[in-house]
Structure formats: structure tokens, C-alpha cells
């Protein structure tokens, strides 16, 4: 479980950045673009224009889109957009990527590779947005208490 918690922390660092994590409710109340929201009763449902060709409703520690929240709210029986609900959605996304066993075994690079389709900031996501360096993410994971297996990194 500590590897999973460290992986969630790494996603938050990747999606939000260390400074915003410190300056917020551990990232749980961050809107895409860096402003904060203050209620957890529902997804904030705010669409932010990031550049002329990109708008997003991403919010929370794992930058969950409004439509993704609406889907998982029903599927997982969630009552709100609280930190616990955000964690449950992130874990479900990781589960659907079939990365939970990799995380438990410390196969960090494999898990990141499998989850890259869910988070635009992960290397290889190819969403035409900023992607973080795998070594920086590995450092964030280890700093958060994650254990690494001996593995061959994905290229």
C-alpha cells in the first residue's frame, strides 16, 4: 500500500507541481491552471481556457475532468469530490490501466508507461501538453516512500 500511496503522490507532483501542493489542500482543491476551489460537495465544474486551442475542466489532486468524475461518481457510488473520492477515482484509473501489480512490485517505469493515457503530464502521454521527465517522477515517487524493483526503464 505504501507504493500505491507514493504513486498517487507522484501523480499529484506530476499534474500539479510541488509548490501548488504546498500552497493548497495537498492538491485536492486545485483547478487546472493553478487557482483554488473551496467546496468538495461536487466537482467544481469550471472550464479553464489554457491556450486558444485548449480548454479543460481538470480539477483536484489528480486533475480529474468533469466528465470523468461524473462517470466514476456513479460507477464507484461517490457522494462528493472529497479527497477520499478523488483518491478512489485515481486508484480506479490505475486499476483500469492494469498497473496496480506493477506498483505493488515496485516496477515504477512500467506502471507510469501503463498509466500515461490517463494523465497528460506523464512521459509518453502525447496530449500535446507538458510531459514530465521520468527521472524527476521516479525521484518524487521514492521521496514519497515508494520502493523500486530492479527494472529496465521504458524508453
Confidence of residue 154 (pLDDT cuts 50, 70, 90): low
Show Cβ contacts of residue 73 under 8 Å, excluding neighbours closer than 6 positions.
85
Domain boundaries, the chain: 2-143
Has residue 155 got a pLDDT over 70?
no
Contacts with 15 (C-beta within 8 Å, 6 or more apart), sequence order: 27, 58, 61, 62, 63, 119, 120, 121
So what's the pLDDT on residue 41?
A: 98
Instruction: Given the residues 15, 96, 131, 151, select the one marked as catalytic.
Output: 15
Question: What is the mean predicted confidence (pLDDT) over 88-101?
Answer: 98
From first CA to last CA, the distance across the chain in angstroms is: 27
pLDDT at 36: 97
Q: Determine what percent of the chain is predicted with pLDDT higher than 70.
A: 96
Q: What is the pLDDT of residue 125?
A: 87
Task: Please give the pLDDT value at position 126.
Answer: 82
150: confidence class by pLDDT, cuts 50, 70, 90: confident
Indicate the average pLDDT of the chain.
Answer: 94
Whether 151 is catalytic is no
- Whether pTM exceeds 0.85: yes
Residue 110 has pLDDT above 70, yes or no: yes
Across the chain, which distance is largest between two alpha carbons, in Å? 43
Sign of CA dihedral 29, 35, 39, 43: negative
**Percentage helix, strand, coil for the chain under 3-state DSSP, each rounded to 5:** 45, 10, 50
Say whether pLDDT at 153 is over 70: no
Report the CATH fold assignment for 2-143. Answer: Lysozyme (1.10.530)
Supply 36's cell numbers.
483554488
User: Would you tell me how many other CB atoms lie within 10 Å of the CB of residue 137?
Assistant: 22
Amino acid at each position: 500500500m505504501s507504493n500505491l500511496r507514493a504513486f498517487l503522490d507522484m501523480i499529484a507532483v506530476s499534474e500539479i507541481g510541488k509548490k501548488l501542493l504546498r500552497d493548497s489542500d495537498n492538491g485536492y482543491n486545485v483547478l487546472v491552471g493553478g487557482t483554488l476551489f473551496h467546496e468538495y460537495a461536487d466537482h467544481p465544474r469550471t472550464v479553464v481556457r489554457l491556450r486558444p486551442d485548449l480548454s479543460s475542466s481538470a480539477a483536484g489532486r489528480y486533475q480529474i475532468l468533469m466528465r470523468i468524475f461524473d462517470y466514476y461518481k456513479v460507477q464507484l457510488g461517490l457522494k462528493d469530490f472529497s479527497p477520499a473520492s478523488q483518491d478512489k477515482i485515481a486508484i480506479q484509473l490505475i486499476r483500469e490501466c492494469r498497473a496496480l501489480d506493477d506498483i505493488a512490485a515496485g516496477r515504477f517505469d512500467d506502471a507510469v508507461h501503463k498509466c500515461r493515457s490517463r494523465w497528460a503530464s506523464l512521459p509518453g502521454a502525447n496530449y500535446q501538453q507538458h510531459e514530465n521527465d521520468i527521472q524527476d517522477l521516479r525521484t518524487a515517487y521514492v521521496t514519497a516512500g515508494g520502493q523500486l524493483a530492479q527494472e529496465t526503464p521504458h524508453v
